[in-house]
Structure 1
């Protein structure tokens, strides 16, 4: 049996899609929705439509605070940490739990499926290359979900106040301890505007910069994922790869500028995919 934690801040537009994908999952003992600082009707939707769910109404609008409070209600392991704007495939809980046991993984995630059907051309080109990069298949990328075993959760104390909670978690595990479970999927809606893509990818870069500066996690060599890009540049994927490289440079530049004023950083959200 497993537990699911869903942190939710003003997720009224998407929370039902997420919970509908969870409530009928076999081998799921408890669903905990940690509503944090909501000013919309997220809490009311969860309480009224999903009485079987543990709904926490927290006043502080902080994702990491929500995760820490939700963990006090964990009843069984592994624990699935799922963002409110994604959905799991049928039997994902069973398949991921079994895959972790079989492969002796401490950290895992379902395989990401990115819906770009509502995204503009430039965003679609970015994801064409992004999905071809080795680290997508190597496992547990920042795709709005991760799963930790009971043993794995002993690697760190509480979630610290950081931008990248999933990056923080991933930094506590070595390559042989983590992986994606290909039999299960997490469905992610891609940004519907280029501006929104820039926001969330800059935030991801900024989060990694913060983790490195604060020396959180293990001291591990950085993987050289960009080694595949030259071969893609000289292939039929040259256009999408060129766009990817340009946008990644943009993300990094923007993140570096934001890092200079990290104390005043305001969390950036992709509202376009939540419509």
Structure 2
């Protein structure tokens, strides 16, 4: 990171590409945060936006100023989340960095708890409790029920959509590489005992409908495979339990509808060819 750090500043970095439907609620949830033991700056790194995302951010400038915080919109015609994160990192002032997806809604105590958790000299990664926002479609709700019971979710500190690091933690990597799964890349920079999940939640929207679930799941799998190929050493930090036969049977018996939906997505991901389209996480 290349900004001029301040020991008492948290930089909240949001990458946004055509997020006019979500960015307002995301920023409103930040304004509703409980008092934080740090100065807070929010940087929205808008990349290749063609909608009202940047306009909505600008409308929040005065509201953040009234709270004593700042919100800045960095505008670039260049698409791509890694580049957007790197541009924001270069402009950020805080030693603590939080990386937030534009469609996330944070509960009011999240930043306070994260800042408190990161107030140590040793490298730390912190996140809240990931909660899947209620989906519109029954199919996505069924998929989410099963997904939330998988070992990956049960292990805690998932960080999909929101994670934060202290100064020693941010030193674990340089620029964000041009890869699919930035959140997995960062999480695996830290051993399980260096990852903290605070009690406050953040709400993450899941893709709606079978077709979108398959597209997103395929991209997620491709992101994990890419990390395994390019950065195999960090896989030792995974630390999650596998899903054994007994656990699989229990899932199938206790919620057969959710199990059937999840299994259908799993099969379709592996039988349909990978397309070239980019898929959002929802």
Give the alignment's TM-score, normalised by structure 2. 0.84
* Kept in 2: contact 1:138–1:180 (CA 8 A): no
1:229 corresponds to which residue?
A: 248
User: Which of residues 245, 249, 263 in structure 1 aligns to 2:267?
Assistant: 249
Report the Cα offset of residue 64 of structure 1: 0.4
Distance 1:225 1:245 in 2: 16
Report the Cα offset of residue 24 of structure 1: 3.9
* Kept in 2: contact 1:7–1:84 (CA 8 A): yes
How do 1:172-251 residues align onto structure 2 when only pairs under 5 Å count? 172-181=189-198, 183-215=199-231, 218-220=234-236, 223-227=240-244, 228-233=247-252, 235-251=253-269
RMSD of equivalent CA atoms: 2.4
1:156 corresponds to which residue?
A: 173
3-state SS of paired residue (1:186): strand
- Unaligned 5+ residue runs, structure 1? none
Distance 1:171 1:106 in 2: 12
User: Which of residues 115, 119, 129 in structure 2 aligns to 1:111?
Assistant: 129
CA gap 1:105/1:89 in 2 versus in 1, 3 angstroms: farther
Provide Cα deviations, 1:238-268, integer angstroms capped at 9, x if missing partner. 33223323322323444xx43xx8xxx3322
Distance 1:50 1:192 in 2: 32
Distance 2:228 2:130 in 1: 25
- Unaligned 5+ residue runs, structure 2? 1-8, 63-69
2:277 corresponds to which residue?
A: 266
How do 1:5-44 residues align onto structure 2 when only pairs under 5 Å count? 5-25=13-33, 26-27=35-36, 28-44=39-55
Report the Cα offset of residue 68 of structure 1: 0.4
Distance 1:110 1:61 in 2: 28
* Kept in 2: contact 1:205–1:252 (CA 8 A): no
CA gap 1:142/1:209 in 2 versus in 1, 3 angstroms: farther
Report the Cα offset of residue 217 of structure 1: 5.2
Distance 2:119 2:25 in 1: 28
Distance 1:117 1:41 in 2: 24
1:48 corresponds to which residue?
A: 59
Distance 1:13 1:123 in 2: 19
Distance 1:175 1:253 in 2: 33
1:129 equivalent to 2:173? Answer: no
CA gap 1:4/1:214 in 2 versus in 1, 3 angstroms: same
